Homo-oligomer: A and B are copies of this chain.
């Protein structure tokens, strides 16, 4: 959470301060609205699409909730929003005089997403960068989040407007990067990690999704997309905590059925959860 400091006691850490003083050297980070306090903002990032950012975001949110924390998810993938479907929640949303009320899952996770604002789930939004930027800012500071221990931000692929807006204007404490075994994926994931570091956002964990597939008939493990590279990437980019997830057909089925909360993790993401 950004703290407002008086110039007299100021440590000149402008990125984490919301004061608009004359000595500012970095853009102010946004603060939540008057009815909301958010203790930790965690971005789930990849650079590459389709590696499982949404799955990991939903799994982290569910696991944190199971441990008793209050959790929200800001779906920053404005043109490809998947969070509501995974939890089986639908719009429309309602507002109050302080802002928009997020959708609440049956497990009490708060969600804001473009798909809660559209009449049909396959309706497209043809919004260019400045509109995306405005939407993401509103999703943060014009939503009645209430009191949250964790707000997870599910990022779109790429390192353009949505990525830059989240990293530069939201008070992100750290990011979890999501990767997959293929070498090509590692290259694109590296781009997002490098840029996050350039923007002074710490990368606290790396989750490799789709690490292997265990044939349910013969039990043999197959490295479908290539050999795991999680330790190699973590070492190369100096990321302290890692975890892996297998390819499990039930994951996709649970997401499609809106039952992502019910996926049993068996501790698979514990190392990363303890890092945030």
- Listed in ascending order, the chain A residues whose CB lies under 8 Å from chain B are 47-51, 54, 77-80, 82, 85-86, 121-130, 132, 156-161, 163-164, 180-184, 187-188, 190-192, 194-195, 198, 213, 215-218, 220, 222-226, 247, 249, 252-253, 255-256
Contact = CB atoms under 8 A, between A and B. Distances in A.
Nearest to A190: B122
5 contacts: A80-B188, A125-B159, A129-B130, A184-B255, A224-B252
A159 B129 contact: no
A184 B158 CA distance: 20
B122 A194 contact: yes
B195 A49 contact: no
Contacts of A51: 49-50
Q: What are the nearest 7 A-B pairs in CB distance?
A: A49-B49, A50-B50, A129-B129, A122-B190, A183-B256, A124-B195, A124-B191
A130 B161 CA distance: 10
A187 B85 contact: yes
B82 A188 contact: yes
A50 B180 CA distance: 10
Q: How many copies of this kind of chain does the complex include? A: 2
A225 to B, nearest CB: 5
Contact of A49 (B48, B161, B164): B48
B187 A122 contact: yes
A79 B191 contact: yes
A215 B222 contact: yes
Contacts of A159: 79-80, 124-127
Contacts of A158: 77, 79-80, 156-158
B220 A249 contact: no
Given A121-B187, A127-B160, A226 B252 contact: yes
A223 B194 contact: no
Nearest to A180: B50
B220 A215 contact: yes
B184 A256 contact: yes
Contact of A218 (B124, B128, B217, B223): B217
A198 B78 CA distance: 19
A126 B80 contact: no
Contact of A252 (B47, B127, B182): B182
B213 A226 contact: no
A130 to B, nearest CB: 7
